[in-house]
Chain A
Amino acid sequence: MHPFLTALMGGALIGLSASLLLLFNGRIAGISGIAGGLLAHRTRAELSWRITFLLGLVGGGFLVRALWPQALGAPTVPGAAWVVAAGLLVGIGTKLGNGCTSGHGVCGISRGATRSIVATLTFMATGAVTVFLVRHVLGGAP
């Protein structure tokens, strides 16, 4: 199958997942918000659904690994310090900007939210600039 078609189907599954979570649980499928909520909330009602969603996500990872062994790629960064820096940026940035690729890029844009359209354009732009700097200016690995 053409990779564009597979990507389209993968995206459709993500859209279906977000729709199920909204229909049954009344929650937004923003992964950074769901994960970050583990640190911000103390009540059982807020924690339990987040934990089962994230268990489903990691469990789904094992299913992905079984179905398509090459789908879980390895990090391309040259070393651990880069991974820590990138992780910190993603954690701080998604909390500060209230969302990531899923919360803004899928759920927010689906709602037609200007905030999410602006956020998505912004993180795609700085992502592209970062890759440009690392690959074409510094000549690094990513």
Chain B
Amino acid sequence: MSSLLTAGVAGLLFALGLGLGGMTEPARVQAFLDVAGAWDPTLAFVMGGALAVHAPLSWLIRRRRAPVLAPAFPVISQTRVDKRLLSGAALFGAGWGLAGYCPGPALTSLASESGLVVLFVSSMFGGMWLLGWWERSRAAAPEPGGGLTPP
């Protein structure tokens, strides 16, 4: 129960940080990405502030044997830079630039009760679902040639 409370508080603080930092203003996000136009560096300070707090704190926290309300810290299994990471990040960046929303600010902006934000969030979940479905069906599909092994 208390782990649900801490998760909820973390979500609330996260939204306040996004709102205070200007991440929920698509125009500001696009001005940050508009390096060839009237570049607005403000959002670099959001990232700087987040790193200045989380880098030392997460280092300290991971020195504990375990989290307060969970049995273990997450094990980071993927360490390689591969095509999947690069193509995923590239596609995400394109969508981020197009709408000015990344996942956190989009979810926070549901509070604006704008139909376009609801559409964005639905499409985002749709994209996640589509990729999962495509990968599952590819994994289940038989090999080219019917999956028959030659005698």
Contacts and interface: CB of A to CB of B under 8 A. Distances in A.
Interface of A: 3-29, 31-32, 35-36, 38-40, 48-50, 52-65, 67-68, 71-77, 80, 82-98, 100-102, 104-107, 109-111, 113-115, 118-120, 122-132, 134-136, 142
Interface string B1-33: 011111111111111111111111111101001
A67 to B, nearest CB: 7
Interface of B is mostly: helix
Interface in B113-130: 114, 116-117, 119-130
A100 B102 CA distance: 7
B22 A56 contact: no
Q: What range describes how many residues of B lie at the interface?
A: 35 or more
A93 B120 CA distance: 14
A5 B21 CA distance: 9
Contact of A14 (B14, B73, B84): B14
Contacts of A20: 6, 9-10, 13
Given A13-B49, A54-B107, 5 more contacts: A9-B20, A15-B53, A21-B6, A73-B26, A131-B30
Interface string B30-67: 10011111000111011111111111011101101011
B11 A55 contact: yes
A75 B105 CA distance: 11
A91 to B, nearest CB: 2
